């Protein structure tokens, strides 16, 4: 006979959809389909859940242990976690609830909130299984809505049920959408017992062990739902320019001359600029749609030259921010092709995408790619494939053999492709350029050129830490630096500095966030605000030596200014969420001493010149593609005004920036 407490425990387990006979579950982390880590979940008596989660991404990646105590209604009564985050900073976190009092503490937060009714605390450094607990709890709540702690609300909706066949057998799985924890719905797959089955994207997927072969099927089904939402959003927020458009009474900035012309009218037809002239002299064609600028600032659309664009929020965010072209420097080829097709056919909203083919050598620290090259035959096959499939550039990565770089450069140049990338480990930036590279990604690799005696294996976060610890003492006026900069200029090497990512890396620490995050903090939803305020993304030693890391960051900014003044071409890219952080990249160029008008030229016509599109993109002239943005204010005087985009013309499509931002829960 079962005792009373045993009956009660059984009731709790059944209410949570658990089968006590299956006490342990493991799921595999797949980065572009390659095993990179795992999650292990143990179900213990008295409603406890014990989770271990870890993965390795080029020497980075979290290692987390969490324990949850779960109530009968699915909410969490207590949780505790420890380990390290993605950049190996220490994690200690605790949450408890007593009656209506919820308290939590982690490295960045210490809070308390009194709340009646069910609520769910989202860990600052949670594990995937926490999403399962959240879904279960929300499904039991009224309207499937649940208050989140510290703030926010989530709503969960079941999308559809499917049967998948894995090597471990057949399972019936259901897709759930969670609205309120990200800019667009987030998804998780659960099995018939409401156990974790899969979550993620084509880039990074966690899936139940024994069912790794269902990856493509799950992603296809999930992307169909994402595509349905994207198409509905595009239909609602895109104005198709099926007749001429007249933008009247605008202040027009042309990056080709750096001049701002007052009170201009720009005519657009079939996606191209047909006329530009004084509003008093240039008549508006009969039947044309009119956009009254009222003296606002009109300029070409911005470019982000270092993007990794994904399905969901990235495309609409870019357009909302006035970014009409991005260069994607590493992605899953199939997913990227599908996304581009959706955008170009009008089923999604997003910028034009220039594709770069990504490759790396095989090592324990290989980059996230399916394309590995360790000899000339593999390099030739990869380059031939990329050239035949619309890629315009080759990006090599840190595990590429140094002796293979000149071979890659020769093969790529023979196909008309540019060569860029990380400087491979055990190679200096000078050697990379002399081997034939046309471009360098990330300003830290330029600094590492002068730190080769301290760090040579740059496949791990050492490539960040060494720069943070030593860049402050780099003498930019030294003969060695001057000689290197001269080499860059004489070889017409392009630098893609992405200096804004070091704003995070060299400044953030628990409870302290950098100035760049402050510019978007109040605009984003509560979960994003919390993440930005947490100071996540900083290197582990920043709290110990914040002044040193700050000074190293400032030296990197100065290096960007030196490059520009020395005649080295730079391109503007973020390696981040384009629609939120490109303005910060441009502000840092101004901080480096580059005049605002020249910064705007870099971010438009200059980028187009590098990609050989300057005859059709990047200017406000008849015959040019009508990628245009209308701004409140004047970024030639105050670069922060570039955030105040009001309307975007992307060829034959017109968008209202505020409506796009609001569709993702962001204040314009």
Q: 509-527 pLDDT, tens per residue?
A: 998 888 888 888 889 999 9
| Residue pLDDT, tens place only, 597-623 | 999 999 999 999 999 999 999 999 999
Residue keyed to tokens 């628990």: 510
**Domain-embedded: residue 262:** no
Average pLDDT over residues 85-102: 94
What percent of the chain has a predicted confidence (pLDDT) above 90?
90
Cross-strand pairs, 499: none
3-class DSSP assignment, residue 67: strand
Q: What does the pLDDT look like over 360-395, one tens digit per residue?
A: 999 999 998 999 999 999 999 999 999 999 999 999
Distance, in Å, from the CA atom of 405 to the CA atom of 236, rounded to the nearest integer, reads 47
- Report the SS3 class of residue 322: coil
Query: Contact at 8 Å (CB) between 507 and 547?
Result: no
Last residue of a domain, one of 570, 590, 610: 570
- By residue count, the chain amounts to 668
Whether the CA torsion 60, 304, 525, 155 is positive or negative: it is negative
Last residue of a domain, one of 570, 601, 628: 570
Residue 386 lies in a domain: no
Q: Quick check: is 56 in a domain?
A: yes
The 8 Å CB, 24+ separation contacts for 16-19 are 16/47, 16/70, 16/74, 16/136, 16/194, 17/136, 17/193, 17/194, 17/195, 18/43, 18/193, 18/195, 19/193
| All residues at 6 or more sequence positions from 421 whose CB lies less than 8 Å from its CB, including other chains | 394, 395, 396, 397, 400, 437, 439, 440, 441
Higher pLDDT, 87 or 322: 322
The pLDDT confidence band at residue 446, using thresholds 50, 70 and 90, is: very high
* Tally of structural domains, the chain: 2
Tell me what the pLDDT averaged over the chain comes to. 94
The whole-number pLDDT of residue 655 equals 98
Average pLDDT over residues 231-238: 98
| pLDDT reading at 330 higher than 70 | yes
Average pLDDT for 180-193: 95
Report yes or no: 56 and 36 within 8 Å, Cβ to Cβ: yes
Asked if residue 42 has pLDDT above 70, the reply is: yes
* High-pLDDT (> 70) share of the chain, %: 97
Residue 61 resides in a domain: yes
pLDDT of residue 2 exceeding 90, the answer is: no
How confident is residue 82, by pLDDT bands cut at 50, 70 and 90? very high
**81/125 Cα distance (integer angstroms):** 8
Q: Does the pLDDT of residue 11 top 60, yes or no? A: no
Instruction: Give tens-digit pLDDT for 384-427.
Output: 999 999 999 999 999 999 999 999 999 999 999 999 999 999 99
DSSP state for residue 510 in the 8-state scheme = T
The pLDDT of residue 517:
84
- The domain in which residue 57 lies consists of 4-225
CA dist 420 to 395, 406, 568, 601, Å? 5, 12, 15, 22
**Section 179-185 average pLDDT:** 95
Cα distance between residue 604 and residue 440, in whole Å: 19
The verdict on residue 459 lying in a domain is yes
Residue 10 confidence (pLDDT) above 70: no
Answer yes or no: is 651 within a domain.
no
Q: Per the domain annotation, does 378 fall within a domain?
A: no
How far is Cα 511 from Cα 164, in angstroms, rounded to an integer?
Answer: 43
Averaged pLDDT for residues 262-289: 97
Q: Is residue 350 part of a domain?
A: no
**What's the pLDDT score for residue 5?**
26
Instruction: Extract the tokens encoding 618.
Output: 């990047």
pLDDT of residue 552: 98
Torsion, CA 413, CA 418, CA 422, CA 428, rounded to 10: 50
The pLDDT assigned to 80 comes to 97
Domain end: 523, 547, 570, which one? 570
pLDDT higher than threshold 90 for residue 288: yes
Q: Record the tokens describing residue 537, joined without a space.
A: 């993304």
Cα(33)–Cα(131) distance, integer angstroms:
22
Range with top average pLDDT, 68-77, 472-481, 534-543: 472-481
Per-residue pLDDT, averaged over 167-174, amounts to 96
């Amino acid at each position: 006979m079962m005792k009373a407490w045993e009956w009660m425990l059984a009731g709790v387990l059944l209410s949570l959809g658990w089968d006590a006979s299956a006490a342990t579950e493991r799921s595999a982390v797949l980065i572009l389909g390659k095993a990179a880590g795992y999650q292990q979940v143990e179900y213990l008596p008295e409603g406890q859940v014990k989770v271990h989660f870890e993965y390795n991404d080029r020497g980075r990646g979290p290692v987390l242990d969490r324990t949850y105590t779960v109530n009968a209604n699915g909410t969490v009564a207590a949780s505790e976690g420890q380990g390290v985050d993605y950049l190996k900073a220490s994690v200690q976190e605790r949450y408890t609830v007593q009656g209506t009092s919820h308290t939590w503490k982690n490295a960045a937060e210490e809070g308390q909130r009194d709340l009646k009714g069910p609520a769910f605390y989202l860990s600052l450094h949670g594990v995937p299984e926490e999403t399962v607990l959240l879904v279960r709890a929300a499904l039991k709540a009224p309207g499937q809505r649940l208050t989140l702690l510290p703030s926010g609300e989530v709503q969960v909706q079941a999308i559809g049920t499917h049967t998948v066949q894995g090597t471990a057998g057949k399972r019936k799985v259901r897709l759930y959408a969670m609205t309120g924890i990200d800019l667009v719905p987030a998804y998780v797959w659960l099995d018939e017992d409401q156990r974790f089955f899969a979550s993620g994207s084509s880039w990074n997927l966690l899936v139940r062990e024994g069912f790794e072969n269902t990856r493509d099927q799950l992603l296809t089904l999930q992307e169909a739902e994402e595509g349905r939402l994207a198409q509905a959003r595009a239909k609602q927020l895109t104005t198709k320019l099926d007749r001429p458009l007249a933008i009247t009474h605008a202040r027009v900035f042309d990056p080709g001359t750096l001049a701002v012309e007052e009170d201009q009218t720009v005519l657009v037809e079939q996606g191209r600029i047909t006329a530009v002239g004084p509003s008093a002299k240039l008549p508006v064609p009969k039947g044309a749609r009119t956009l009254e600028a009222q003296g606002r600032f009109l300029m070409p659309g911005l470019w982000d030259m270092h993007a990794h664009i994904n399905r969901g929020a990235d495309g609409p965010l870019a357009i909302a921010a006035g970014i009409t072209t991005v260069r994607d420097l590493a992605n899953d080829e199939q997913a990227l092709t599908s996304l581009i097709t959706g955008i170009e056919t009008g089923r999604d909203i997003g910028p034009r995408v220039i594709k770069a083919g990504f490759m790396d050598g095989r090592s324990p620290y290989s980059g996230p790619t399916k394309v590995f090259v360790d000899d000339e035959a593999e390099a030739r096959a990869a380059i031939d494939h990329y050239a035949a499939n619309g890629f315009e550039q080759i990006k090599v990565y840190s595990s590429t053999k140094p002796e293979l770089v000149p071979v890659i450069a020769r093969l790529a140049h023979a196909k008309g492709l540019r060569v860029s990338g990380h400087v491979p480990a055990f190679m200096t930036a000078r050697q990379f350029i002399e081997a034939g590279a046309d471009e360098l990604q990330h300003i830290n690799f330029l600094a590492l050129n002068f730190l080769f005696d301290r760090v040579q294996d740059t496949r791990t976060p050492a490539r960040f830490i060494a720069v943070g610890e030593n860049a402050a003492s780099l003498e930019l006026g030294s003969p060695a630096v001057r000689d290197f900069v001269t080499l860059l200029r004489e070889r017409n090497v392009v630098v893609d500095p992405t200096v804004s990512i070091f704003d995070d890396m060299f400044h953030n620490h628990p409870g302290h966030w950098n100035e760049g995050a402050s510019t978007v903090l109040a605009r984003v939803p509560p979960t994003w605000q919390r993440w930005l305020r947490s100071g996540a993304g900083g290197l582990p030693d920043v709290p110990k030596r914040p002044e040193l890391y700050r000074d190293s960051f400032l030296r990197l900014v100065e290096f960007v200014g030196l490059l520009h003044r020395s005649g080295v071409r730079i391109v503007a890219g973020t390696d981040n969420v384009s629609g939120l952080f490109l303005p910060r990249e441009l502000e840092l160029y101004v901080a480096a001493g580059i005049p605002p008008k020249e910064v705007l030229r870099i971010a438009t016509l200059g980028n187009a010149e590098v990609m050989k599109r300057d005859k059709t993109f990047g200017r406000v002239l008849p015959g040019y593609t009508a990628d245009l943005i209308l701004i409140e204010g004047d970024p030639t005087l105050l670069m922060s005004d570039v955030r105040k985009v009001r309307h975007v013309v992307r060829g034959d499509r017109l968008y209202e920036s505020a409506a796009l931002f609001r569709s993702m829960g962001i204040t314009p």
